[in-house]
Amino acid sequence: MKLWRIVPVIIMAGLLGACQPQGTSSAPQQNQTDSCADADVLATIDGTPITEKDIEAVVPDQLRQVRMELYAAHKAGVDQLINEKLLAAEADEQGVTVEELQKKEIGAKVEVTDDEVEKYYNQRKARFQGKEFSEVASLLKGYLYQQKFSDARNDYLGKLKKKSKIQFMIEPPRVEVVAGDYPGKGPEKAPIQIIEFSDYQCPFCGRARETIAQVLKEYGNKVRYVFRDFPLSFHKEAQKAHEAAHCAREQGKYWQYNDQLFKQQRALTLEDLKKYAKELKLNQEQFEECLGSDKYTKMVQDSLRYGQSVGVSGTPAYFINGRMLSGARPFPAFKEVIDDELAR
């Protein structure tokens, strides 16, 4: 393997606003400390400093969002440069141009058939506002080709990355989030900790069930998944549904009840909640006594307030080893973060 196949990626801490010593590397330790202290002061009023720590308490959500966006921009830039260097190195090794390499290794292996185009059209016919297949066929074929080409390119780059030594020095923003006494699946000391804040009446949370199931199946014991309550105020039946799930947990059937609530998101009245308990063969008297006592009202509300304190404003919201992922995201979005965490 040639030397230029090794592609270390080093992003200086200063790029992310970290404190760096001023002057040469031989500067005294005292100067380094002073530099750090000064960097932490953002303003003074009558000699009293206002520090980064002070504004954390004032605009935490804005700062969290900016840091996430900054990391995403840095990561996108780094990824682009890595890809360009890998392709250039491989092209040089094969004695061809990058364009020729991509045509040979990627483009030549991508094909879109007429049957695929027609199937795509028929599955989404309503979107084309009455246009006949013949009117959009060429555009659809180009679109599908670009999709396939992008997937094939990513696969090829993945193979090149396995042949190279790549080290990311940029650290993603993280939020310290605890699981608390909320239900979980998987080993407690798994390398990947996923905490979801969710709402049983939220349709997007319902759509995310398939993705979460895929994550747990794909990564097995590498993942610990915890479900935390976050009933939104405008979902009037959500609060009681979350309490009911904890009542089912007392009888060892939390996850079965959890599944049922997501399957029946439009039927979450008190009578519905009691019916699901009966269907799952819970002790009905114990369940109804639990639900009627408001035993878990505080626990559910505590989880909601805690979620708000760590930046959750909507559902579903996930924290993967402290890295926030918002919305009903597809499996590849989880895979990207999880694989990156496992590589670290």
CATH number assigned to the domain comprising residue 230: 3.40.30.10
For the purposes of burial, counting CB atoms within 10 Å of the CB of 250, is it exposed (0-12), middle (13-18) or buried (19 or more)?
middle
pLDDT at 263: 97
Residue 209 is assigned to a structural domain of this protein: yes
Residue 63 is assigned to a structural domain of this protein: no
Question: Are 190 and 327 contained in the same domain?
Answer: yes
DSSP state for residue 344 in the 8-state scheme? -
Region 187-193: mean pLDDT is 97
Beta-strand (E) ranges in 171-322? Answer: 184-185, 192-198, 223-229, 317-320
Question: Are 195 and 139 contained in the same domain?
Answer: no
* Ramachandran angles phi, psi of 303, nearest 5°: -65, -40
Are 262 and 227 a contacting pair, CB within 8 Å? no
Residue 10 is assigned to a structural domain of this protein: no
pLDDT tens string 297-331: 999 999 999 999 999 999 999 999 999 999 999 99
pLDDT tens string 216-234: 999 999 999 999 999 999 9
pTM higher than 0.75, yes or no? no
Question: Are 215 and 258 contained in the same domain?
Answer: yes
Question: Are 194 and 151 contained in the same domain?
Answer: no
pLDDT for 36 beyond 50: no
Q: What is the DSSP string of 219-246?
A: HGGGEEEEEEE---TT-TTHHHHHHHHH
Question: Which is nearest to 88 in space by CA: 174, 207, 5?
Answer: 5
When divided into structural domains, the chain yields a total of 2
Q: How confident is the model at residue 344 (pLDDT cuts 50, 70, 90)?
A: confident
Q: In what order do the strands lie in the sheet with 184-185?
A: 184-185, 223-229, 192-198, 317-320, 323-326
